[in-house]
A and B are shown apart, each in its own frame.
Chain A
Amino acid sequence: MAEDSPAIVTTFAGAIAVIRFHQPAQRNPLSTSTLQHLESTLSDLLPRSDVKCLIFTGTDEVFASGANIHELSQLDSHSALEFSQLGQRIFQTIADAEQVTIAAISGFCMAARSISLSPVTFASPQRTPPSLTPELVLESLPAGVARRDFRG
């Protein structure tokens, strides 16, 4: 897959939007550009009354590999703070969404925060087990985010 392929691809099936992390060759890192793309995507989708459900998923055998460690190593304190705030803002936005949010996870998953903010999550047992990045689990706690009951 070309490096310039979109980090996120959104498709629709009626009122369902499937938001797919789409850089499996890099294991779908949640880099700054990906998070900005995700924020833009959410800004487009969340105000829409015709979109009732958001499904987050990965591509091939990868859901997401969490923060881009190489990118993080290049940040200074100011840009690191900005990166952290960007991530917090996005995941809080997902947590606060009016729409039903679902994470469909197949394969590698090192972005547990994104799982934790989805009220319904599914994982595949036969593929590579999800690998859950613990610091992201911990990050979700100060935000006071809890799994919500599924609104069926």
Chain B
Amino acid sequence: MIGRGRALKLFLTARSISAAEALEIGLVSSVTEDPLAIARSIACGSIA
């Protein structure tokens, strides 16, 4: 999902990344103040 190269880089360097970087490389879909509230909102929309 993030590409083998990026995965290998993370694996081999064992470094932490920020939420912003996770968003940039596509590991998360969105960065928001209240993830659970947004998740609930999306979930409600998906089953409406």
* Interface set of A (CB-CB < 8 Å, partner B): 13-16, 18, 52-53, 55, 57, 100, 102-106, 112, 115-116, 119-126, 129-132, 134-135, 137-138, 140-141, 145-147, 150-152
Q: Are A102 and B43 in contact (CB under 8 A)?
A: yes
Cβ 8 A contact of B18, one of A129, A140, A146, A151: A129
Q: Please indicate the chain B residues that have their CB under 8 angstroms from the CB of A140 in the complex.
A: 1, 7
The CB with the most chain B CB atoms within 10 A, among A14, A53, A131, A140, is that of: A53
The secondary structure that dominates the A interface is: mixed
Cβ B43 vs Cβ A134 within 8 A: no
Identify which of residues 2-18 in chain B touch chain A, using a CB-to-CB cut-off of 8 Å. 2, 4, 6-18
Total A-B pairs in contact (CB under 8 Å)? 135
Decide if B16 touches A132 in the complex (CB within 8 Å). yes
User: What is the size category of the interface that chain B forms with chain A?
Assistant: 35 or more
23 A-B contact pairs sorted by A residue (CB < 8 Å): A55-B39, A57-B36, A102-B43, A104-B36, A104-B39, A106-B36, A120-B30, A121-B27, A123-B22, A124-B31, A124-B33, A125-B32, A129-B20, A130-B17, A134-B11, A134-B14, A137-B6, A138-B7, A140-B1, A145-B1, A150-B29, A150-B42, A151-B46
